[in-house]
């Protein structure tokens, strides 16, 4: 196979989900390349959970197709799940079983299962394999769920808000394991998270869902390169000609005007500067979290 | 082993670029001597908390630039020739910073002797004043 060949592990094509008359997901498309880390972002209640259920073949889309490894995830769910590891938003292991028992239970379900590796991961996380799952802390549960999800050496790892409610130490430990797996096996990852700091460290590509629809879907590096905040002060600030900039948002303050530019580049800035020579301009670069908040609002971002 | 530099994922500069510059700086300063092993991609990715492919991209660019060399099965090492490259890079960086300072001084209307005096004062604040070698 040529190195230029595109090898998508997951393809979502024009997927819509409706519950009765309620539209939850509208015409969402995305493609996750083998070996990449794809981050799916959005505020709660934008249809992400329904989309993930469709991806995992647990729910049939009202319209559109989802393909895992080239085959419909709905029609060939069993075959696909043998190649996918999932860390769900809510740890759902039976609370009375300990890690050793869970490893044995799942070992019976998978043809390819490395129980020793799972137990080694659990031990590395400092979790006793003899304590019932229900008695573990949130961080310990997360570590066990991740270890179990990696036990059959999946090609695709789906992480649904794995760090929700974890403290900094537990979060770091979880990312450490994921990074190790990326390095050792080149696992493909679909990461749905509110932890924008973690996404900024790991993601190759970022998609943002807003109000049921895909707002953007592009490489993280390009996203961060094209968004800037521009602060214009001085007389004439309010009447500035923003050409050739595409303005995503604009606020008038006591001191001048602050805008969010969606197509920043040095060349465009020079063109703008030549036209708007009379005002003072400050260019501020933005973190992923700042871009996200600017595009979808502040509510429910921190968690 | 600690790599001796940090990255800021929130920065507009891509992480691979920060790693690339970080290693170059350590080589230029002599903190990473020729022949010394740099951390494995896996170790550095875990230490910095970033995607291993990001580290791989930085190491690839460093290898292309001749700063490091990868020996199959052994790891990645600071290239023998990179000390010289490091010096020329250092000289270029220094010149750039000097240009920046000179133009800032000119903008403020500060004449050369006063500006140079400020540089000397800055060095003595660092506790290692030079004799002002030209």
Which of A149, A190, A186 minimizes the C-alpha distance to A52?
A190
Contact flag B50-A35 (C-beta cutoff 8 Å): no
Neighboring chain B residues of A176 at a CB cutoff of 8 Å: 46, 49
Q: Give chain A's end-to-end CA distance (angstroms, integer).
A: 42
CB B62 within 8 A of CB B20: yes
Above 80 in pLDDT, residue A253?
Answer: yes
A233/A284 Cα distance (integer angstroms): 14
Which of A78, A37, A38 minimizes the C-alpha distance to A57?
A78
The CB-side HSE value for B129 (13 A sphere, CA atoms) comes to: 9
Average pLDDT over residues B35-55: 95
A250/B44 Cα distance (integer angstroms): 40
CB A213 within 8 A of CB A28: yes
Q: What are phi and psi of B104, to 5 degrees?
A: -65, -45
The H-or-E segment that residue B70 falls in is: strand B68-71
Neighboring chain A residues of B14 at a CB cutoff of 8 Å: 221, 224
pLDDT value for B82: 56
User: Domain B15-83 is of which CATH architecture?
Assistant: Orthogonal Bundle (1.10)
Which of A36, A182, A181, A35 minimizes the C-alpha distance to A121?
A181
A13/A10 Cα distance (integer angstroms): 10
**Preferred mutation among A157, A181, A183 to probe B, highest tally of B CBs within 10 A:** A183
Above 80 in pLDDT, residue B88?
Answer: no
Percent of chain B past pLDDT 90, that is, above it, reads 50
Percent of chain A past pLDDT 70, that is, above it, reads 96
CB A203 within 8 A of CB A172: no
For chain A, the average pLDDT equals 91
pLDDT value for A63: 97
pLDDT tens for A34-91 read 999 999 999 887 788 899 999 999 999 999 999 999 999 999 999 999 999 999 988 8
pLDDT value for B129: 42
Confidence of residue A297 (pLDDT cuts 50, 70, 90): confident
Cα pseudo-dihedral B73, B78, B84, B85, rounded to 10:
90
pLDDT value for A5: 60
Contact flag B10-A180 (C-beta cutoff 8 Å): no
C-alpha separations of A115 from A94, A100, A132, A135 in Å:
18, 9, 18, 22
**Preferred mutation among A182, A228, A266, A286 to probe B, highest tally of B CBs within 10 A:** A182
Average pLDDT over residues A174-194: 94
Percent of chain A past pLDDT 90, that is, above it, reads 76
A191/A206 Cα distance (integer angstroms): 9
Which CATH fold would you assign to the domain A1-83+155-167+185-218? Rossmann fold (3.40.50)
* Paired tokens of A286: 């933005």
Average pLDDT over residues B83-87: 60
CB A71 within 8 A of CB A101: no
C-alpha separations of B88 from B28, B78, B94 in Å:
9, 16, 10
Domain extents in chain B: 15-83, 87-126
pLDDT value for B134: 37
A70/A5 Cα distance (integer angstroms): 14
Contact flag B42-A180 (C-beta cutoff 8 Å): yes
A16/A163 Cα distance (integer angstroms): 28
* Paired tokens of A223: 């996203």
Above 60 in pLDDT, residue A195?
Answer: yes
Residue range A228-285 in CATH 3.30.70? yes
A80/A72 Cα distance (integer angstroms): 9
A123/A145 Cα distance (integer angstroms): 13
B85/A161 Cα distance (integer angstroms): 45
**Preferred mutation among A201, A286, A290, A291 to probe B, highest tally of B CBs within 10 A:** A201
B75 touches chain A (CB under 8 A): no
pLDDT value for A50: 92
pLDDT value for B130: 45
Average pLDDT over residues B103-123: 88
Q: Which of residues 8-67 of A touch B (CB under 8 A)?
A: 35, 37
Contact flag A183-B45 (C-beta cutoff 8 Å): yes
Average pLDDT over residues B76-99: 78
Average pLDDT over residues A184-206: 95
Above 50 in pLDDT, residue A290?
Answer: yes
Average pLDDT over residues A252-278: 91
> Which positions ≥6 away from B60 have C-beta within 8 Å?
none
pLDDT value for A113: 95
Write down how long chain A is: 303
pLDDT value for B132: 42
> Whole-model pTM above 0.80?
yes
β-bridge pairing A37-41 and B68-71: unpaired
pLDDT tens for A200-248 read 999 999 999 998 999 999 999 999 999 999 999 987 888 888 989 999 9
The three-state (H, E, C) secondary structure of A109-135, written as one string: HCCCCCHHHHHHHHHHCCCCCCCEHHH
A25/B104 Cα distance (integer angstroms): 54
pLDDT value for B30: 86
Above 60 in pLDDT, residue A130?
Answer: yes
The three-state (H, E, C) secondary structure of A184-236, written as one string: HHCCEEEEECCCHHHHHHHCCEEEEEECCEEEEEEEHHHHHHHCEEEEEECCC
Domain extents in chain A: 1-83+155-167+185-218, 228-285
CB A156 within 8 A of CB A85: yes
């Amino acid at each position: 196979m040529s190195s230029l060949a595109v090898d998508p592990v997951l393809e979502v094509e024009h997927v819509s989900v409706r519950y009765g008359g309620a539209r939850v997901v509208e015409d969402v498309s995305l493609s996750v390349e083998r070996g990449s880390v794809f981050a799916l972002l959005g505020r709660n209640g934008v249809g992400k959970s329904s989309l993930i259920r469709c991806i995992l073949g647990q729910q049939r889309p009202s319209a559109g197709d989802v393909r895992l490894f080239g085959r419909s995830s709905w029609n060939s769910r069993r075959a696909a799940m043998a190649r996918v590891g999932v860390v769900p938003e809510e740890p759902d292991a039976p609370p009375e079983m300990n890690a050793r028992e869970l490893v044995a239970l799942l070992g019976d379900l998978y043809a390819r299962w490395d129980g020793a590796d799972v137990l080694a991961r659990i031990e590395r996380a400092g979790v006793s394999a003899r304590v019932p799952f229900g008695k573990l802390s949130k961080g310990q549960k997360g570590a066990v769920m991740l270890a179990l999800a990696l036990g059959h050496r999946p090609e695709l790892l789906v992480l649904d808000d794995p760090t929700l409610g974890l403290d900094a130490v537990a979060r770091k430990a979880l990312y450490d394991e994921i990074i190790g797996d990326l390095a050792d096996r080149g696992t493909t990852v679909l990461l749905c998270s509110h932890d924008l700091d973690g996404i900024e460290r790991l993601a190759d590509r970022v998609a943002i869902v807003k109000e049921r629809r895909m707002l953007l879907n592009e490489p993280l590096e390009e996203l961060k390169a094209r968004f800037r905040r521009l602060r214009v002060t001085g007389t004439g600030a309010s009447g500035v000609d923003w050409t050739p900039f595409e303005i995503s948002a604009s606020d008038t303050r006591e001191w001048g005007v602050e805008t969010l530019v969606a197509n920043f580049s040095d060349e465009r800035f020079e063109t703008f500067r030549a036209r708007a020579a009379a005002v003072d301009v400050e260019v501020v670069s933005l973190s992923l979290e700042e871009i996200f908040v600017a595009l979808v609002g502040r509510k429910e971002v921190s968690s | 082993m600690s790599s001796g530099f940090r990255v800021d994922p929130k920065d507009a500069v891509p992480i691979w670029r920060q790693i690339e510059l970080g290693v170059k700086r350590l080589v230029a300063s002599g903190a990473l001597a020729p022949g010394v092993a740099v951390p494995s991609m896996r170790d550095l990715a875990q230490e910095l908390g970033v995607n291993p492919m990001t580290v791989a991209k930085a190491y690839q660019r460093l290898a292309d630039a001749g700063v490091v060399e990868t020996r199959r099965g052994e790891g990645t090492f600071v290239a023998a020739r990179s000390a010289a490259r490091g010096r020329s890079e250092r000289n270029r960086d220094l010149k750039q910073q000097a240009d920046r300072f000179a133009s800032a001084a000119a903008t403020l209307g500060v004449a050369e002797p006063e500006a140079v005096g400020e540089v000397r004062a800055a060095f003595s604040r660092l506790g290692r004043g030079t004799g002002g070698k030209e």
